[in-house]
Structure 1
Amino acid sequence: MSKPNAVRIATTGARLVAGAVVSAACIAGAILAIPAAWPTVTHAPARATITPVAGDTLLTCAGPFLALGRDASQASQLTVAGTPQLLSGAASGSSLTSANIALTGIADASAAPMFRAQPNGSAPAQVAAAESTSISADDLSGFAASACRPPSMESWIVGGAGTTGSNDILSVANPGAVAATVTFTEYGSQGGTPHTSEIVVPAGTQSSVPLAAGSAGEPSPVIEVTSSGAPVRAVLQSSLIRTLDPVGIDTQDAIPQPRTAQSLLGVRALVPSTDDDHASTAVRLLAPAKDSTVMLQPRNAATGATVGPAKKVQLIAGQVGSVNFSALKPGLYAIDVTSTTPVVAAAWQTTGLGKGSDFAWMTPAPDITGATTFAVAAGPAPQLHVQNASAQATTVELAPVDGGKTQSIALPAGGAATVTLTASTVYSLSAPSAVRAAVTYLDTGKLAGYPVWPTDAAAAPVDVYQR
């Protein structure tokens, strides 16, 4: 090979090698650059918070106070023992329409009252109703009061007894347009598998059954009430006789569902006792699904300050427990209940243990934010017990809906207050942050109370996402 040819071959080879290296470098660079250089496309879902339009408000009342077996020849017959005084009203911009729910199986009564209210524009109606009953007879004596409430698919009755002397009747009202199949699941103080039973409540009717039908001999029942087909309103009417003497009556509302934090307002200690068998103030508890550690802290109703150390109790799932608070000094209290798993709770209280006394159950008071309307049924010396449920100071406004002076109630963080109310009056309560409240009554041989419930015909705001 000549020298010029050799030079050309070497030069060409060098160019080929260099070109290959450069091409490889370019390809590698392009590959590495693809994920960094190419634009990425991301899409954040559109989000909007929507408050559903309020629906009609339905309020069902317990109706006449019932007695079982007053006629010895018809021991299973339910009859009317007392006719309640009824109060209803509405804040400006809302109105109530009255109606009736047919009573089934009652010898001398045909209907219980109910109310319907259309929303005020897109907001729920500000309406309320309540009733009270006084009875003085050889077999029944005392005072009972309760608020008229909307129906629900699930509720819990924490109260009553299936023992001798107790005459407790569970009433279930269906104000809807279709029949409801109602299941009772009954828990007791011995635990074990709960007893279940079922009834069908036709549309527009109220059915009543003796509590002892499923809880005979049980001193501390708790009843879960579930419904399919239509929501129902469950209420317990209780009466008690000791050694042939009547010692009180009560109308008790249901609890919506178990919770890990709740507060029992309007709890009275009236008769000191350290004997659990003769307790005058006690809290009944149930952890329906899982074992629970529960702390119960009494608080002064007038200030919200804690009273003594909290009581600790261990609950076995499905077994009803009770805690005695009769050692409290006479007065009005709240009892805060916190637990490691959801529980239901209610407080029992009595004015005494002999003839002429009365008793009442107090259920947890729900949180209220904004405006709500509540009715104060006729009764002795009504008071409002209000508790600040938030960690910041707040001021609550209270005024009669028919006109009258507005009261401003200043509540420090965690604080509480008691306010004198006027019987047979409908009030508006406005709270900028969460509070709880209850109405209480007290006189010689008369004791009752019920929580103040928020206007709840409006569904909670929901977040809607578009993907």
Structure 2
Amino acid sequence: MTRQNALRIATTGARLVAGAVVSAACVVAAVVAVPAAWPTVERAPAHTTVKPVAGDTLLTCAGPFRALGRDASRATELSTAGTPSVVSGAAPGSRLAQKSIAIAGVPDARQAPMFTAAPNGQDPAEVAAAESLSIAAEDLAGFAASACRPPSMESWIVGGAGTTGSNDILLIANPGAVTATVTFTEYGSQGGGMHTTEVVVPAGTQSSIPLAAGAAGEATPVVRVTSSGAAVRAALQSSLIRTLDPVGIDVQDAIARPSKAQSLLGVRAVVQSDDDDNPSTAVRLLAPSTDAIVMLQPRNAADGTPAGAAKKVQLTAGQVGSVDFSALKAGLYSIDVTSTAPVVAAAWETTGLGKGSDFAWMTPAPDITGSTAFAVADGPAPLLHLQNASTSAATVEFTPVRGGATQRITLAAGGAATVPVAARAVYALSSPTAVRAAVSYYAEGKLAGYPVWPTDAVAAPIAVYQ
């Protein structure tokens, strides 16, 4: 090996060693630098708020009150026990058209009222309808009132009973143009949610299903109603007999969905009861899927102040519970329900426990923001119950759609008020912040009520993300 070659090899080796050292240093520097904060570039997902075009509004009424087995030779046959009077109307800018829906399985009742309204431009129509009736017969007696409501794909019935003396019927209306397959899932005091039944409801018809068909012997049933193919409107028609005497009727609307916070407005305590099996005022509850701790706070309807201490109950998922409020003094209340998990709830109220009394179920009043229309069915001494659902003061306005003075009610944060309203009238109500509302009726032997629902939310703004 020549001296020149040796020098070239030595030089090349030195370069390799130096390169290895530099590479190792770079690796060490990179490893040390990893925990340090690197510059980042963040970009919020692109999104826009879109307001869908509103569709036609459909309002379906319960229709004729049905009696079961009046003819002893035909114990399962349904017949008409009374036909309600209906009031309907629209706020300025909306128009309401009356139609009808066929009633299946009731020979002497052919149709129930139904209303349609085209949207007001991009907004859903502000329309409303309600119905009421009184019955005085040997097997049925009492007063009932209910709002006509749009259909939905899911709803909950919290009320009624499958015990002796109860004659309760689920009313399922399909106002759409295609057949609906409806599934009922029954829950009870011993748990449930596994027992299901299914019925097919043809387009443009209303079906009547006895509640006892799926809840026989159950004193506190809750029924989940789900539909495929078409949305349906579910309601419960109830009647009760004690020791051969009729003690009331009711038509109860469904609840949209379980919630962690809700308010039962227009709960009227008339008499006190110390009979555990027959309370005069009570709240039925169900946590469908998760155990829940529930707080129930009664409040004075006049101003929203607490009416005694709150009651606490622990619910087992899928098992119906009941909280007794029979000790409430005579008066008007709301009951706030807050829970650690979503629940459904409804309040039972009665004017007495014997002949000549009446009962009603009050379901939660949803939040209303902006404007909506509500109907006041014919009935004794109707009252509008208002509750501020926001954390700031709110001024609520409501005006008869057929002309009349506007009333303005200012509610403190969390406050409430009751205001007399006219029977057989339709009002336009507006509030810049969230409020809740309900209509109630009361006279000797007559008790009823229903919540005010916001204008069809089909056109509510939605956020679309890319």
Q: Distance in 1 between matches of 2:193 and 2:388?
A: 39
- Give the AA of the match of 2:382: P
Equivalent residues, number: 457
1:411 match: 411
1:104 match: 104
Rg larger in structure: 1
Distance 1:388 1:41, change over 3 A: closer
- How big is the shift at 1:460? 2.4
1:294 match: 294
Q: How does 1:39-438 map to 2 (within 5 A)?
A: 45-192=45-192, 194-438=194-438
On the 8 A contact 1:394/1:431 being kept in 2, the answer is yes
Structure 2 residues without counterparts, runs of 5 or longer: 1-9, 31-38
On the 8 A contact 1:123/1:458 being kept in 2, the answer is no
On the 8 A contact 2:171/2:209 being kept in 1, the answer is yes
- How big is the shift at 1:40? 9.3
Q: How does 1:19-34 map to 2 (within 5 A)?
A: none
Q: Distance in 2 between matches of 1:306 and 1:465?
A: 43
Q: Distance in 2 between matches of 1:41 and 1:242?
A: 73
In the TM superposition, what whole-angstrom CA distance separates every residue of 1:139-167 from its partner, at most 9, and x where no partner exists? Answer: 10000000000000111100001111111
Q: Distance in 2 between matches of 1:192 and 1:369?
A: 36
In the TM superposition, what whole-angstrom CA distance separates every residue of 1:234-273 from its partner, at most 9, and x where no partner exists? Answer: 1100001111111100000000111111100000111112
| TM-score normalised per structure 2 | 0.92
- How big is the shift at 1:45? 4.3
Q: Distance in 2 between matches of 1:287 and 1:42?
A: 41
In the TM superposition, what whole-angstrom CA distance separates every residue of 1:379-405 from its partner, at most 9, and x where no partner exists? Answer: 000000100001111110011111111
- Matched residue of 1:276: which SS? coil
Structure 1 residues without counterparts, runs of 5 or longer: 1-12, 34-38
Distance 1:42 1:449, change over 3 A: closer
Q: Distance in 1 between matches of 2:184 and 2:190?
A: 18
Distance 1:448 1:40, change over 3 A: closer
On the 8 A contact 2:145/2:251 being kept in 1, the answer is yes
In the TM superposition, what whole-angstrom CA distance separates every residue of 1:323-352 from its partner, at most 9, and x where no partner exists? Answer: 110101100000000111111100000001
- Give the AA of the match of 1:331: G
- Matched residue of 1:151: which SS? coil
- How big is the shift at 1:463? 1.7
- Give the AA of the match of 1:93: G
Distance 1:207 1:192, change over 3 A: closer
On the 8 A contact 2:186/2:193 being kept in 1, the answer is no
Q: Distance in 2 between matches of 1:199 and 1:280?
A: 34
In the TM superposition, what whole-angstrom CA distance separates every residue of 1:429-456 from its partner, at most 9, and x where no partner exists? Answer: 1011000000000001100000000002
Q: Distance in 1 between matches of 2:359 and 2:267?
A: 11
- After TM superposition, the runs of 4+ consecutive aligned structure 1 residues lying more than 4 A away are 39-45
In the TM superposition, what whole-angstrom CA distance separates every residue of 1:270-302 from its partner, at most 9, and x where no partner exists? Answer: 111233223100001111111111110000000
- How big is the shift at 1:465? 3.1
- Matched residue of 2:458: which SS? coil
Q: Distance in 2 between matches of 1:46 and 1:397?
A: 38
Q: Distance in 1 between matches of 2:99 and 2:146?
A: 18
| TM-score normalised per structure 1 | 0.91
- Give the AA of the match of 1:419: V
Distance 1:44 1:223, change over 3 A: closer
Distance 1:136 1:172, change over 3 A: same
- Matched residue of 1:278: which SS? coil
In the TM superposition, what whole-angstrom CA distance separates every residue of 1:364-419 from its partner, at most 9, and x where no partner exists? Answer: 00000000100000000000010000111111001111111111101000000000
Q: Distance in 2 between matches of 1:301 and 1:127?
A: 27
**RMSD value, Cα:** 2.9
2:6 match: none
On the 8 A contact 2:157/2:235 being kept in 1, the answer is yes
- Give the AA of the match of 2:234: A
- Give the AA of the match of 1:196: T
Q: Distance in 2 between matches of 1:123 and 1:217?
A: 46
- How big is the shift at 1:192? 4.5
Q: Distance in 1 between matches of 2:338 and 2:120?
A: 37
On the 8 A contact 1:175/1:203 being kept in 2, the answer is yes
- Matched residue of 1:251: which SS? strand
- Matched residue of 1:458: which SS? helix
